[in-house]
Amino acid sequence: MIAPVGGRAGYRRRSLAVLLAGCLSASGCETLHSTVHTVQKTLLGGPLDPGEHLTGFIGGVVADEPMAALAAREILATGGTAADAAVTLGFMLSVTLPSRAALGSGGACIAYQPGAGSAGHGVPEAVLFTPRAPAVNAGDRPAAVPMLARGLYLLSVRYGSKTFADLVAPAQQAAAAGFSISRALGRDLDQVRAPLLGDPGSAAVFAPGGAALGEGGRLIQTDLADTLTQLSRVGVGDLYQGLLSQRLVQASAEVGGPISQSDLRQAVPLLANPIVVKAGADQVAFLPPPADGGLGAAAAFLSLERSGVVSQSLADASIATAAAWRAQGGNPLALLQQPPGAGVLPALPASTSFAVLDRRGAAVACALTMENLFGTGRIAPGTGIMLGASPAVKPAALLTAAVAWNSARDAFRAAVGASGQNGAALAGAVALGQAMTGELPPKIPVPDPGRANAIGCPRYVPGGDESCRFGSDVRGAGLAAGGS
């Protein structure tokens, strides 16, 4: 039932991770990125010339926030890869949904590209940039070390075809010019408005002139726009070992969540083998720990495969498996082979998810979190960065994402990203089962409090794009933007 991923492809990926670790710890890295960009463009046949758009099937995007989804779809329409679109989507969320995915957030993604393996067949891999605590959790609101920018950069270098600056540009423009607050962000603001506006820096952004913003209000984030401009011009290394990092170190101390220069230098994302299980003729790759929502989703998915019924036992299996890993660590595959009898988790924080598919059958599914709605609730002065909450003082979110593919066909079948506090892992398992049969939007919503974004192509891509369906949870405020 359960098979690990490894071999020569895994070795090459780890070697690339070592190379990128050095690059990600420094400012610039333009030579490496330019070289990889040229190679990817040659291999993938894109992007298109400026202003040119694809015709026919372009893939699609599902996400919890509509503006971010549309920005990502535009990247697909101009010949970008799934990773290109995912990077743009992630940076857009830092502007349009900072409650769950600001630059101070962390997360994890599963990436799949047909033909990318050592034998010419695609093998998914995980890009892990989960929230990290600083070495010393000091101040009245300890902050997480920002991981989003580095994680998205790694995804871009590994699987992208467009330049990094092109992918950041939509977010920078939205932050500078402003945008109408979506229902997704408006709902989050409604939940925490009073404590959020208790911070002068946050109040200056979310209540300019003293008038609190809500759904439909115009949100402008000038400092954040400047930070995004710096990232696109100088590189993400500047946020971790450059002028931006110095500014962030000082600013984080000013708002009671100090992050050190050493914390920033050491915060490097990882490439990892996912948890892989069989599903008939297909395989499914789930996020591995420490993104343990993937492990919980794998446990629930296997139970669902056996029983065919969505029940409380699935929820129990997902929570117990994730709880067992948090308690003792160990081999995730062993936990799936011998499931724990019971286990509980504390109330877990909010997250957000998305999934992207391009016309070639490459896919990316991600889950992001601030470890609390709006993280610490404080913006680092002069940077526009809403700081995430330290996972040392808040329980870790169940980051949940998965991709299904067929090795023999070398083709994509389904992808899912899920959120919903303690229900995220179960939501991912149930939504994946529905996506693999093409039931999108789902006939039965995933169980509360879970929410899911899913893509399903029962006839596979490449080869059967007419079968593809894109579904964002109907109880949320997101968007499914796919097709021609």
Q: How many CA atoms lie within 13 A of 214 on its CB side?
A: 8
Could you tell me if 96 and 68 are in contact, meaning their C-beta atoms sit under 8 angstroms apart? Answer: yes
The H or E element that residue 141 is part of is none
Confidence label for 471 from pLDDT (cuts 50, 70 and 90): very high
Distances (CA, A) of 87 to 97, 136, 188, 191, 436: 15, 30, 23, 28, 25
Share of the chain above pLDDT 70, in %: 88
Token pair, residue 382, equals 């002069």
Question: Which pLDDT does position 121 carry in this prediction?
Answer: 66
Kindly list the distances between the CA atom of residue 465 and the CA atoms of 56, 118, 375, 439, 481, in Å, as whole numbers in the listed order.
10, 26, 39, 15, 14
Is residue 153 over pLDDT 60? yes
Coil vs helix vs strand at 385 = strand
Q: Provide the b/e sequence for 438-474 (b: ≥16 CB within 10 Å).
A: ebbebeebbbebbbbbbbbbeebbbebbeebbbbbbe
How far apart CA 113 and CA 131 sit, in angstroms, is: 26
**Confidence class for position 311, pLDDT limits 50, 70, 90:** confident
Mean pLDDT of 180-206: 97
Whether residue 392 has pLDDT greater than 90: yes
pTM for the model stands at: 0.91
pLDDT tens digit sequence for 219-261 = 999 999 999 999 999 999 999 999 999 999 999 999 999 999 9
Mean pLDDT, rounded, for 109-129: 85
10 pLDDT above the threshold of 70? no
385: which 2 tokens? 């960065």
Residue scoring higher pLDDT (149 or 8): 149
Mean predicted lDDT score pLDDT of the chain = 89
pLDDT of residue 8: 32
Residue 296 has pLDDT above 80, yes or no: yes
Distance CA 209, CA 197 (A): 12
Average pLDDT over residues 152-162: 97
Cα torsion angle, 10, 12, 17, 18, sign: positive
194-to-78, 105, 198 alpha-carbon distances in Å: 42, 22, 6
At residue 5, does pLDDT exceed 50? no
pLDDT at 142 over 50: yes
pLDDT at 50: 61
Does 140 have pLDDT greater than 80?
A: yes
pLDDT at 463: 92
Indicate whether 1 pLDDT > 80.
no
pLDDT of residue 306: 87
What's the pLDDT tens digit per position in 341-376?
Answer: 889 999 999 999 999 999 999 999 999 999 999 999
Residue 115 has pLDDT above 90, yes or no: no
Query: What proportion of the chain, given as a percentage, has pLDDT over 90?
Result: 80
Is the pLDDT assigned to residue 15 strictly greater than 50?
no
Domain boundaries, the chain: 7-181+220-277+346-482
Lowest mean pLDDT among 115-124, 277-286, 333-342, 357-366: 115-124
DSSP structure string for 290-356 = TSTHHHHHHHHHHHHHHH----HHHHHHHHHHHHHHHHH---HHHHHHS--S-----PPPP-EEEEE
How high is the pLDDT of residue 371?
Answer: 98
- Position with higher pLDDT, 387 vs 474: 387
